[in-house]
Structure 1
Amino acid sequence: MDLERQIVLLKQKVAREKACRKSAEQLLEDKSNELFLAKKMVEDTLVHVQQKAEQDMAFLTFKIYLDSILLDFSQLFLKNSISDTLLQRLLNHISHVDSISAVQLKIQSINVADKITVLNAGGWTQWQESAEQTSSCRWSSDHRQLHIIIDGEESKLGVFSVALETKKEWQHTIEKQLSLFSEVISVAYQRKYLLDRTILEMHRAENSEKSTRDFVAMINHELRTPLNGLLGSADLMADTKIDTQQARLLTTIHQSGELLRVIINDLLDFSKMSAGMLELLIKPFEVVSVSRVIDDIFSIRAEDKGLQFELFFSEQIPLELLGDAERIKQILVNLIGNALKFTSEGKVSVYFLWENEQLVFNIVDTGCGISLDKQSNLFEPFVQVDNSSNRKHEGTGLGLSICLHLIQEMQGELILTSELDKGSEFKVCLPLAIPAKNMQTTQVEEEIDYPIHELTLLVVEDIKMNQVVIEMMLKKLGLNCDIKNNGEEALRYLEQHNVDIILMDCRMPIMDGFEATRILRQQGYTKPIIALTAGTTNIECEECLACGMDAIVNKPYQLKDLEKILNHWGKRLSNPL
């Protein structure tokens, strides 16, 4: 019994062991399947991650390459003017980017108006363009072509097209990337357009300035040349025997000529101001000499009008100052002339002062004065206190405007104080420097006269009237001269004759004075050549000196002008440096 029970128990135990082994084997098989599936899932995930990483790297590489091209060509377009060659290089670089198979640029020609330039790079492609494209970017129906409009300042410049194979999720970024190329090209075109327009406007301005300069020079010559004959003839006639009636007429001619000279000077100076050609000639001068000239001019005028003229000169004023003495005289002549013109009784007082390292002029009159409402625009061109047709005082209305401009050019100040019916005061303050070099020795030497009647002269002048006037002036100085009509005649004459000094007009037909002087200097001619010119700008004076002329006498000239210049150069000939 015991044995049988043991056998039964043993069989039960064996059966349980078999069931457990079977259960364990099933569990092992299930876990093995799970492990296999998990491994396969991990492998699939790794493949997917690797593919995604490769795709992201390709996209990143794509972007970096485009960014590099964009940066390089942005710098090139800044350094160089845009051209078809530069644009073709850009397209070639873009076409070498992976995923891009072809690039096309249709754009307004840089050099030819109304012409379209077509540039291609990469393989052949059938482009799917839309003539009615309105949006800045448009994809083709198969999403394989991107067309981007290039905008100009006012209208469409062209279309930038790219054929590429990319994933759809990349397209938004690619669109933004390639749009930057369109903007770079647009900016480069507009920059070139603005640069070309600026250069064109600069050339127009230069041509306009040159035309203005030429016109002013021509008008200067055409007005001053006959005026030279008129005033020169009047000066010469004054030394002849004439009766009282003729003397009165001659005085009228002379006064009218001087008035005409003032008007011409004002108009030409205003033209120079407008053209930016009014320049200062800065050199040492004696203020006392200026005061003497002013006293000589206006003491007689004031006496003729029954007015008292006073001139006060401060001992504090330095012997010499640096400035444009002729322009300073012009300022004083205008201001004092106006004071005399608008003063019917009483006096005009002129003060030369030195205050705060400035040369100061005070012109005080007891005239009609200027109302406060008219003082504000008194210095505007062509403005006069009385503009009515029956006004008492003539004039162009340019004098004060020119004075103010000259004073401002000298970094000075003009102050007006006036009260109606009581008079006016014009105060001019000019910050002029004191020259370091003392010029007294030269001035003493200039005062020693030279026997100019011993000089031999050649006058080169094309205007018959001026030939007569200068010949008579020279005869009054005891000089005979030979006269030629132009530079060509002068050159032929000098091949056979020798003279001490040449008086050379600048503007003449056939050959002008500039060309004749250049040829003479090239031939080794060393004698003085003095310009007789109506040109008064620094540029015209520099042209005279640049061609080889030694000095300048401006038209209209007087007998004393010729005497002074001949005296100077006569001494230079007798005592060469």
Structure 2
Amino acid sequence: MLEDEKADLHKQIALLTKKVQREHQIKLAAEKLLEEKSRELYLAQQILEDNLLIIKNRSEQDIALLHLKTRLESVLLDFTQMFLKQHLSGEHLQRLVDELADIEHIHSCRLILTTSDGSLVNGRFIAGSPTSWQHETTQENSCQWSDEGHQLSVIIKGSARHIGALQIELNTPKTWQETIEKQLLLFCDMLHSAYQRQALLNRTLEEKRRAEYSERTARDFVAMINHELRTPLSGLLGSADLMRDTQMTAHQQQLLKTMHQSGELLEVIINDLLDISKMNAGMLKIIDTKFSPEQLCSMIQNIFTTKTAELGLAFELTFDEHIPARLLGDPDRIKQLFVNLIGNAIKFTDQGKISVKVDWVQEMFHFTISDSGCGIPKDKLAHIFEPFVQVNNASNRPHEGTGLGLAICKLLVDEMKGEISLESSEDEGTQFSVRLPLKATDDTEDVTVDEEMDVTLERLTVLVVEDSEVNRLLISMMLDKLKIKPYLVNNGQQAINFLADKPVDIVLMDCRMPIVDGFEATRRLRHSGYRQPIIALTAGTTTLEIDKCFESGMDEIINKPYKLIDIKRVLIKWYQRINQPSG
């Protein structure tokens, strides 16, 4: 019994021993596995920490690169706007390199400009403290880094050749180079655009300066030629006019008539050439004043009735009673339209009739000139208002002229915001129609009229200031017909000296004279307190010259060539004013 129990006990001990041994082995295996896993976990943690450090470093670099890129873009935007608003200057370019060198990571900056245009800024602009600069790149379409990778040079391309380079010295990772290159290329594009814009602006300003100089030269030439042509013409026509009242044989009268007609033709040609020159130079303006259309048309009828009768032509002018009594416009230019168009009709009408119809249509001053002449061929109609166009350009054409009359009419009508048209059939005649938007006015003051022409002027004292001996003689003879004995001086200084001792009622003052001209003499007289009327004697017909007369203190203008009726009208007007009772 005891032995059986003992044997069982030994079996149980043996089994327990085996179990303990297995558990120990399992424990040892588990400890070994734990040790291996712990080692693996440690290594994984080390790798993770290393990767986190790498990511952290990269993030900081990306943030720094983004900050650099943002600063460069901000400077680029600021200077792009500046160069669009202001002239390109050395001061602005120095500010640019200063701004670039002030950016973090950029130690210094150099801008080199070598344009061939002398009107643009050239030179070297440096900011910061560079160690030493490499030579600028000459490779087209490239950015060049130094061997150490601390300097970048980018060329600034021009239209045909590069115009310079932009260089920076910096200390940044190589991974940033591509971004930095792109930013500096944008700066070079901006500088190229700024230089192109400045070059264009300089050319435009130079062209404007040349145009203004050309305009001044043309204006001075027109004024000079106006004076030089009209002064002798004034002597020619004035002398012919005065000779009419002298005793002459029939042959002499015929010669005088021919001389007078030739002079008038020359005056028309000169006026046409000067008018077209002034219009092309923008020097002729419309001067609106109040006038009587009925009196204007009466004057036109008086001018052409005799002339057409001498040529065997009938002339008829009808004036609509509904036209306002007073209109606001330029009567001299409207008269010029009538004269040019009627003169053109007479020129091309060998027999038959010239008809002028004047009326008021839809608040517009409207007139038509019809003739029974040769008409205008269809192929000429489209170009008839162009300068120097003639229906017949042959050297043996029967009708003389400059071909400017209709061109001037078109320019005048356009300047007055009106319309001009024509209808014509070859061998049947032509009709021109003109419509002008003139304003009606009830004001009857300052209307151009021929009244009180029989006023006695013999007590009027007049000083004539004229450097031309011919014109002095001519005006003196014209005034003699009005029973006026004028005082005569040769220039503005003599006029000032004369009037200091002997005031007169009216001064007739030539504008262009040696020593002291009429403008300066008038200014000095007005400044000294002289208040009597000063009438300009001038060949100038441009707005600028007319304005110059009035700005200097002159009261009215008599244009060359002088006519007795014009001088008489002006003298009567001012004689009546200076003799009006005060109050």
Give the shorter-chain TM-score range: over 0.9
Give 1:514's aligned residue: 519
Paired letter, 1:511 = V
- Is the contact made by 1:450 and 1:570 (CA closer than 8 Å) also made in structure 2? no
Give the equivalent residue in structure 2 for 1:452.
Answer: 457
Match of 2:483 among 478, 494, 508: 478
| Displacement after TM superposition at 1:52 (Å) | 1.2
SS of structure 1 residue aligned to 2:144: strand
- Residue 553 (structure 1) shift: 0.6
Q: Is it true that 1:568 corresponds to 2:573 in the alignment?
A: yes
Alignment partner for residue 46 of structure 1, among 52, 63, 84?
52
- Indicate the larger mover: 313-322 or 17-26: 17-26
Paired letter, 2:388:
F
Report the Cα distance in structure 2 between the residues aligned to 1:266 and 1:293, rounded to whole angstroms.
21
- Quick check: 2:120–2:195 contact (8 Å CA) kept in 1? no
Q: Is 2:69 aligned against 1:60?
A: no
Partner of 2:315: 309
In the comparison of the two structures, how many residue pairs are matched? 576
- 1:86 is aligned to 92
Deviation at 1:75, TM superposition (A): 2.0
* Partner in structure 2 of residue 188 of structure 1: 194
Secondary structure of 2:458's counterpart equals helix
- Structure 2 residue matching 1:353: 3-state secondary structure: strand
Counterpart of 1:506, as a letter, is C
Q: Kindly indicate whether residue 353 of structure 2 is the aligned counterpart of residue 347 of structure 1.
A: yes
2:446 and 2:113 mapped to 1: Cα distance?
A: 75
Q: Which amino acid aligns with 1:217?
A: A
Give the match's secondary structure for 2:389: coil
Deviations 1:23-74 (A, max 9, x none): 2322332232222222222211211111111111111111111111112222
- Residue of structure 2 in register with 1:17 after alignment: 23
Show CA shifts across 1:152-173 (max 9, x none). Answer: 3443211112233333332222
The alpha-carbon deviation at position 394 of structure 1 amounts to 1.4
Cα drift, residue 112 of structure 1 = 4.8
> Given residue 505 of structure 2, which amino acid in structure 1 is its aligned partner?
D
Code of the aligned partner of 1:230:
L
Number of the residue aligned with 1:504? 509
**TM-align CA RMSD:** 2.1
1:122 to 125, 128, 134: 128
| Mean CA deviation greater in 543-552 or 556-565 | 556-565
Q: Deviations over 1:77-129 (max 9, x none)?
A: 22322222221221122123333233221103699569951122222243333
Output the amino acid matched with 2:557.
I
Question: Structure 2 stretches of 5 or more lacking a match?
Answer: 1-6
Distance 2:115 2:158 in 1: 13
C-alpha contact 1:545 1:551 (8 A) present in aligned 2: yes
Q: Specify the alignment match of 2:255 in structure 1.
A: 249
Question: Is the counterpart of residue 218 in structure 1 residue 224 in structure 2?
Answer: yes
1:284 corresponds, among 277, 283, 290, to: 290
Q: Is the 8 A contact 2:114 2:163 kept in 1?
A: yes
Distance in 2, matches of 1:128 and 1:537, equals 65
Q: Distance in 2 between matches of 1:345 and 1:307?
A: 6
Please list, as runs of the form range in 1=range in 2, the aligned pairs for 1:399-438 lying within 5 A after superposition: 399-435=405-441, 437-438=442-443
C-alpha contact (below 8 Å) 2:113/2:165 kept by paired residues? yes
**Partners in 2 of 1:571 and 1:188 — Cα distance?**
67
Q: Is residue 365 of structure 1 aligned with residue 371 of structure 2? A: yes
Counting aligned pairs with the same residue, the percent is 51
Residue 154 of structure 2: SS of its match in structure 1? strand
Determine the structure 2 residue equivalent to 1:148: 154
Q: Do structure 1's residue 133 and structure 2's residue 139 form an aligned pair?
A: yes
Does the 8 Å contact 2:115/2:164 carry over to 1? no
Give the drift of 1:15. Answer: 1.8
Deviation at 1:13, TM superposition (A): 2.8
Which amino acid in structure 1 is aligned with residue 384 of structure 2?
L
Of 238-247 and 131-140, the range deviating more from structure 2: 131-140
User: Of residues 172, 182, 185 in structure 1, which corresponds to 2:178?
Assistant: 172
Distance 2:500 2:285 in 1: 39
- 3-state secondary structure, aligned to 1:408: helix
Aligned position for 2:306: 300
Q: Residue 43 of structure 2 corresponds to which residue in structure 1?
A: 37
Contact kept? 1:446, 1:568, Cα under 8 Å: no
Which one of 431, 441, 444 corresponds to residue 439 of structure 1? 444
**Which ranges of structure 1 fall in alignment gaps of 5 or more residues?**
none
Question: Which residue pairs with 1:74 in the alignment?
Answer: 80
Measured after TM superposition, the shift of residue 356 of structure 1 is 2.1
How far apart are the structure 2 equivalents of 1:445 and 1:334?
Answer: 23
TM-score (norm 1): 0.95
